[in-house]
Amino acid sequence: MAPRTSTSTADQARAAALEVLEAVRTRDAYANLLLPRLLRDRGLSGRDAAFTTELSYGTLRGLGTYDAIIAACVDRDLDAVDPVVLDALRIGAHQLLAMDVPPHAAVSTTVDLVRSVSNEGASRFANAILRRVGQGDLQEWIKRIAPNAQDDPEGFLSVSRSHPRWIVSAFWDSLQAHRGAQRAHQDIGELLDADNARPGVTLVTRPGLAQVGELTDLGALAARYSPYAAYLAGGDPGALAPVRDGRAGVQDEGSQLVATALALAPLEGRDEQWLDMCAGPGGKAALLAGLALERGASLLANEIAPHRAELVRRALRGYGDRVVGTADTHTAEVDENADADTDTDATDAVRTGSLQVIAADGIRAPWQPGSFDRVMLDAPCTGLGALRRRPESRWRRTPEDLERLTRVQRRLLSSALDSVRTGGLVAYVTCSPHLEETRDVVRQVVKARRDVERVDARPLLPGVPDLGGGPDVQLWPHLHGTDAMYLALLRRS
């Protein structure tokens, strides 16, 4: 979609937000990757960039609720509305119902936006619909359009909290499994609200390269739980020298905690070879790299996609010549029917106290069984635990994705357990609280083997409250302020 011309920065902000929504809808774009480029291209910074970001992310988060409201205001199915006009109406609804934009400005600027991308008839249509939307506030609309909360609690939450019903149901089931039925009933609304809140920026220091004090001296606040984390209240993290130099980065605190837990877990015997099996885009690998080097251990960071392996290499750039190079051992897509035999051994090239990045299929592992002492498996998943950061994912994912993903997750976990030595540790991690991707995968794999024991992961997250009954750990946005990271720690016995 070509950039549209407009006369003011506010118009530019709305046009950029419309471009984000259209790209998400038509090209499966990710807002967090597209928006920074649009801001640069349009010369938007400061308050204008913040306004654009809220228009884009806020509209994507509230899209389900806004569609239900717009549907109540039109005389046709939403499928019959020009998609780009509907995107503009969603942006207008967000301004009217969730932002401090004067109603007349929200309506008139959206009408102008529609006129710039469509025709006069469409602009009159948008004017009429938005005036109807503006006749009530958000809570009044929810009372009017949402199912009764007593008769259909999942339906009510789906409309009022702007989540697909199947995700509401999955989150409720996971809360109940980890926290019990009563707490789940109390928590579900807060969890969905946390998904709709704007997340803060969490920084991470690379062990051996930077300390949290450097970040706090630059205005960040030391984090609550991770000893390597700090919260940045505002501004561009890339402008901070430690981030710019690769000595620090941006990483959710939950992601830091699960990586640190693997490193903290007691281990008898050798502790020299670590593996990050699905390392892209590199946040956990960079943290594990520093922790491994502090102990004189080596880290092999593996990622099946070569372009993501390059992202891992960039994340490790602060370690300089400790990174011994990269290799493309196997660059094909995951072959779910392939045998796990290989004639190569990727561990041969890793010297003591070094880091290496390779592009290989973790299922068809290019290393010998039992090669590693600690293995991190951050498995590909639905990403439902990061909906506050990737709001479009809630509308993109479907229940049908689970069958394919869980099949890959089980095969990767089996490969990870084969890759670790007797007595070694595997951390199975997902950025999803969905039970089919978390407890069910672990239970099925462990049941099929006789050489695995569960390790209580809770003591490895010191100071973190509300970790449930164990032995696995499920973090929650509404309780811990992190993404909904899941961790199961397994020992090869």
**Active-site residue list:** 431
Q: Is 254 annotated as a binding residue?
A: no
Q: Is 187 annotated as a binding residue?
A: no
Closest alpha carbon to 392 in 12, 33, 130: 33
CB-based contact 389:446 (threshold 8 Å): no
Which structure tokens are listed for 483? 């993404």
How far apart (Å, rounded) are the C-alpha atoms in residues 413 and 423?
Answer: 16
Contacts of 256 (CB under 8 A, 6+ apart): 202, 204, 226, 228, 229, 287
Cis-peptide into 399, omega within 30 deg: no
Q: Is 403 annotated as a binding residue?
A: no
CB-based contact 206:249 (threshold 8 Å): yes
Q: Is 303 annotated as a binding residue?
A: yes
Q: Is 281 annotated as a binding residue?
A: yes
Query: What's the one-letter identity of residue 85?
Result: V
Closest alpha carbon to 154 in 117, 116, 128, 192: 192
DSSP assignment of 170-229: HHHHHHHHHH-HHHHHHHHHHHHHHHTSPP-EEEEEPTTT--HHHHHHTT-EE-SS-TTE
Contacts of 21 (CB under 8 A, 6+ apart): 56, 59, 60, 87, 90, 91
Q: Is 283 annotated as a binding residue?
A: yes
Q: Is 280 annotated as a binding residue?
A: yes
Q: Is 378 annotated as a binding residue?
A: yes
Q: Is 194 annotated as a binding residue?
A: no
Q: Is 318 annotated as a binding residue?
A: no
- Which residues are annotated as part of the binding site for S-adenosyl-L-methionine? 278-284, 303, 335, 378
Q: Which residues are annotated as a binding site?
A: 278-284, 303, 335, 378
